[in-house]
């Protein structure tokens, strides 16, 4: 019915074993308690008879009002060869009858003892019936436990089967988030995780389609230009210098195509980087290294790169190449769109979520109506293929981080590119 790897099978097995053990232990304790209670009553009864006789009293107290107290009772005086001061109680069976016998010291001078014997056959039969009933109740209880365990395991596995059914019915054209409010509370984190994964898949499918369409468009245009220029060149004879100039223009167009192809190859390389083994690194140290690399580039372009990094250190477990790709893209774009004699700020700060990394420029800002994270989306008249932010967004998704672009609201024209690292994967080093 269930495979060896089935969680439901293991749950059923453990629940049935635990319940059966509990029923057996409880029933055993109950039976032994009833048996000991009945035997204690019988022992006290025989001891009372023996004490009354030894003290020259009546066998039974007059105020008991019991008329059957002498039934199946046998009392005699015996003599032993050896002094025995203890009170002995033992049980014997003879001809399908069970007897309970008590030896009580009567006169130790002549080694005489009272031997009080009572037939407890009916009591024994009653105990056997009680044991039989307990055994039947145990069987019925065990069957109920099996039925309950099967129903409970089915109820616990039901949300997983529901999730599995919903996911199996999805395809790239029909991907819908799961309604977590319909799930049990214990499965809500799983539903949220699946919804996060679905959102990433939706973005991936969306951007991959745009990437393919954009690639075809970006390559088709220069190819058409090359073909047209070659056709014009072949229409009439030209001087060698004119042929050389035409070839230079063609080579320039081919170079532009190579840039597009190189950026597309970077998409494939990044997907491989997402499978790269994570390492524990100091994010602040990486930011300082990147700032040092771009500071010379900024000075060469008559621009300033300001650094404001807090805290002193911030450890995180992530793919370093993906983080480098995001920060490098932020700084490249910021320096590209920032005019001369203006500044770019690399800033980091701790917040309630984790570490917030920001690159603030003094450029022209962005158009909020354009999805700049889509492939081949460009703004302004600066050169570029339009894949940098697309790669940065993909890298952030792989890191489980959030990436945003927004305009400055401090009265200065410019853009703020931010990366939010989650503190669940990181920790703050103590200040020295």
Say what the pLDDT of residue 358 is.
Answer: 93
The verdict on domain 279-428 having CATH code 3.90.226.10 is no
Signed CA dihedral, 44, 45, 49, 55: sign only: positive
Say what the pLDDT of residue 62 is.
Answer: 42
Report yes or no: 337 and 289 within 8 Å, Cβ to Cβ: no
- Radius of gyration for the chain, computed over Cα atoms and rounded to the nearest angstrom: 46
Q: Mean pLDDT of residues grouped by 10 in the chain (432 residues)?
A: 66 84 90 90 86 68 47 78 72 85 80 85 89 90 86 79 74 72 75 79 72 68 75 77 79 75 65 66 90 86 90 86 86 88 91 89 83 68 65 81 88 90 58 44
Report the largest interatomic distance among the alpha carbons of the chain, rounded to a whole angstrom: 154
Nearest in space to 283 (alpha carbons), one of 331, 368, 220, 349? 349
**Separation CA 101–CA 130 (nearest Å):** 23
Q: Is the pTM of this model over 0.85?
A: no
Other beta carbons within 10 angstroms of residue 235's beta carbon come to: 7
Say what the pLDDT of residue 4 is.
Answer: 62
Give CATH 1.10.287 domain extents, the chain.
197-273
**Separation CA 94–CA 208 (nearest Å):** 93
CATH topology assigned to domain 197-273: Helix Hairpins (1.10.287)
**Separation CA 27–CA 430 (nearest Å):** 59
**193 Cβ neighbours under 8 A, 6+ residues apart:** none
Other beta carbons within 10 angstroms of residue 66's beta carbon come to: 11
Chain mean position to CA 59 = 75
Say what the pLDDT of residue 428 is.
Answer: 45
Say what the pLDDT of residue 196 is.
Answer: 79
Say what the pLDDT of residue 383 is.
Answer: 54
**Separation CA 339–CA 332 (nearest Å):** 13
Give CATH 3.30.565.10 domain extents, the chain.
279-428
């Amino acid at each position: 019915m269930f495979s060896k790897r089935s969680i439901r099978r293991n749950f059923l097995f453990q629940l049935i074993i635990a319940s059966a053990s509990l029923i057996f232990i409880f029933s055993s304790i109950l039976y032994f308690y009833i048996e000991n209670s009945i035997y204690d009553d019988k022992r006290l009864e025989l001891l009372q008879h023996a004490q009354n006789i030894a003290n020259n009293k009546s066998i039974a107290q007059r105020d008991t009002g019991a008329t059957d107290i002498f039934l199946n009772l046998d009392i005699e005086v015996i003599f032993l060869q050896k002094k025995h001061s203890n009170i002995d109680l033992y049980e014997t069976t003879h001809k399908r009858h069970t007897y309970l016998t008590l030896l009580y010291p009567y006169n130790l001078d002549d080694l005489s003892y009272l031997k009080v014997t009572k037939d407890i056959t009916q009591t024994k039969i009653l105990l056997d019936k009680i044991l039989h009933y307990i055994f039947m109740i145990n069987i019925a209880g065990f069957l109920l436990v099996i039925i309950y365990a099967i129903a409970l395991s089915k109820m616990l596995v039901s949300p997983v089967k529901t999730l599995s059914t919903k996911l199996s019915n999805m395809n790239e054209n029909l991907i819908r988030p799961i309604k977590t409010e319909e799930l049990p509370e214990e499965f809500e984190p799983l539903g949220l995780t699946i919804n996060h994964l679905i959102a990433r898949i939706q973005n991936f499918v969306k951007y991959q389609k745009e990437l393919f369409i954009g690639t075809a468009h970006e390559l088709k245009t220069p190819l058409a230009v090359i073909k047209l220029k070659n056709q014009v060149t072949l229409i009439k004879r030209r001087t060698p210098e004119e042929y050389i100039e035409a070839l230079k223009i063609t080579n320039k167009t081919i170079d532009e195509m190579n840039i597009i192809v190189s950026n597309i190859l970077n998409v494939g390389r990044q997907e491989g980087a997402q499978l790269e083994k994570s390492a524990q690194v100091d994010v602040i140290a990486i930011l300082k290294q990147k700032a040092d690399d771009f500071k010379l580039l900024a000075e060469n372009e008559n621009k300033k790169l300001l650094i404001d990094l807090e805290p002193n250190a911030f450890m995180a477990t992530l793919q370093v190449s993906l983080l480098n790709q995001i920060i490098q893209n932020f700084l490249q774009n910021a320096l590209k769109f920032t005019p001369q004699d203006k500044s770019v700020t690399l800033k980091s700060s701790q917040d309630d979520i984790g570490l917030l990394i920001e690159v603030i420029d003094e450029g022209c800002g962005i158009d909020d109506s354009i999805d700049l994270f889509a492939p081949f989306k460009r703004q302004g008249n600066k050169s570029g293929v339009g894949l940098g932010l697309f790669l940065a967004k993909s890298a952030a998704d792989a890191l489980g981080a959030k990436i945003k672009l927004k305009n400055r609201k401090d009265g200065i024209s410019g853009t703020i590119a931010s990366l939010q690292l989650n503190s669940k994967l990181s920790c703050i080093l103590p200040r020295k």
